[in-house]
Amino acid sequence: MRLALSTGGGDAPGLNAVIRGAVLSAVHRGWAAYGIQRGFGGLLGGDKVVSLGPDEVRGITHLGGTILGTTNRSSPFKWPVPQPDGSVKDVDRSDELVDAFRAHGFDALIMIGGDGSLRIAQQLYEKGLPVVGVPKTIDNDVRGTVTTFGFDTAVSTATDALDKVHSTAESHDRVMVVEVMGRYAGWIALNSGLAGSADVILIPEIPFDIESVCRKVRERDARGRRFSIVVVAEGAMPIGGKVVTRAPAGPGDRMERLGGIAERVAAAIEERTGKETRALTLGHLQRGGRPTTFDRLLALRFGAAAVRCVADGNFGVMVSHVPPSTGFVPLKEALGKPKLVPLDLDTVLMAREIGVCLGD
Ligand code: F6P
């Protein structure tokens, strides 16, 4: 059995632990494992396929990033090809990819990625490749699994940042607006905001009214709490407004680049309340660094669970975490709409009950 592994899309802490879990489980069964480098780039031109054994995956469980490299511009169905006139055109190279996969004599592919990569996994499965998906995203917005690895680490990083921002905000009687990741779903903002004792949490699921945010800041001021902490997800938007983007999607890009909502919210708070307000965007800090214990363990379990699916001939599925166990769901179930924060979730109710403003 020759097993191929690929990491695609944005990175997330725990990718290396998945690779280690999968490779060692494969070796345990007497199989050979290979890593396709840089998303699918390794099979489309670069021929960067590396053999993975115990030596290659030694000591990587605690490391951030991915030893295989990744890209969110490597869909074989929309491969960016530079044209003679300098423009870039998206080209379907999926047939070439299938041929390269077979030429290498691979028997199965484990694809570790977020919504975009899992969609590619499903398309490749429909083209006849034996694929198993592993859900990855710090945003935790993939359906079919309660948790994705990387999320816990991102929440810890954001919470740590909020703790730090707290002391400086308090010293200066300032309002600090902290932007965290979360394109469609507010899981990181909600969890880190609560753990980091934010006063206002703005998530994409609840379009906000800036006046309600300012009311909270003024109320605190009146009580002698002259500073406030606002956490805003990058995908949050005002009622009737739109998400704030830094750059449109270019050729090969899967999506536009979000960012900048913290500056907008900070400017509006300063204008309406007269309080000095600063904005801070945590950005890719949340994607880097050592995975937490929870993420390391979940990632190792996902890697082993994916190999178990391959051993059972169970393809076109994605491994999933439904506590206390890992299992699998059809890949199709994970696609479609992102997994949003349900507004009746007890975490949301608790936020309201302890006086956190959610912007509505
Ligand atoms: O999907 C995870 C995520 O971190 C989003 O929250 C964010 O919008 C996006 O990736 C950023 O991707 P990139 O690093 O490609 O700009």
CA of 316 from ligand 1 middle (Å) equals 25
Q: Per-residue pLDDT tens for 90-116?
A: 899 999 999 999 999 999 999 999 999
Q: Would you call 199 a catalytic residue per the annotation?
A: no
Q: Say if residue 337's pLDDT is above 70.
A: yes
- Rounded to the nearest angstrom, the distance between the alpha carbon of 10 and the centre of ligand 1 is 6
Which atom of ligand 1 sits closest to the CA of residue 115? Answer: 1
- Whether 258 is in the pocket of ligand 1, judged by its Cβ within 6 Å, is yes
Predicted pLDDT at 80: 86
The domains spanning 2-149+291-334 and 154-288 adopt the same CATH topology: yes
Domain boundaries, given as residue ranges, for the chain: 2-149+291-334, 154-288
89-93, 181-185, 235-239, 338-342: which has the minimum mean pLDDT?
A: 89-93
In short, whether 183's Cβ falls inside 6 Å of ligand 1 is yes
Which homologous superfamily does the CATH classification assign to the domain defined by 154-288? Phosphofructokinase domain (3.40.50.460)
- According to the model, what pLDDT value does residue 171 have? 97
- What pLDDT is stored for residue 252 in this prediction? 60
CA–centroid distance, residue 259 to ligand 1 (Å): 10
| The one catalytic residue among 115, 139, 141, 199 | 139
- Of 66, 7, 54, residue with least CA distance to 27: 54
Nearest to 283 by CA among 165, 182, 162: 182
pLDDT, position 251: 62
Q: Give the mean pLDDT of the chain.
A: 95
Kindly list the strands in the beta sheet with 175-180, ordered across the sheet, starting from the edge strand earlier in the chain: 200-202, 228-233, 175-180, 277-281
Report the pLDDT value the prediction gives residue 82, as an integer from 0 to 100: 87
pTM for the predicted model, two decimal places: 0.96
Asked if 181 and 141 count as a contact pair (C-beta separation under 8 A), the reply is no
* Nearest one of 252, 228, 333, 235 to 76, comparing CA atoms: 252
CATH numeric code, 2-149+291-334:
3.40.50.450
Close Cβ partners of 151 (under 8 Å, ≥ 6 residues apart): 12, 137, 138, 139, 140, 187, 188, 295
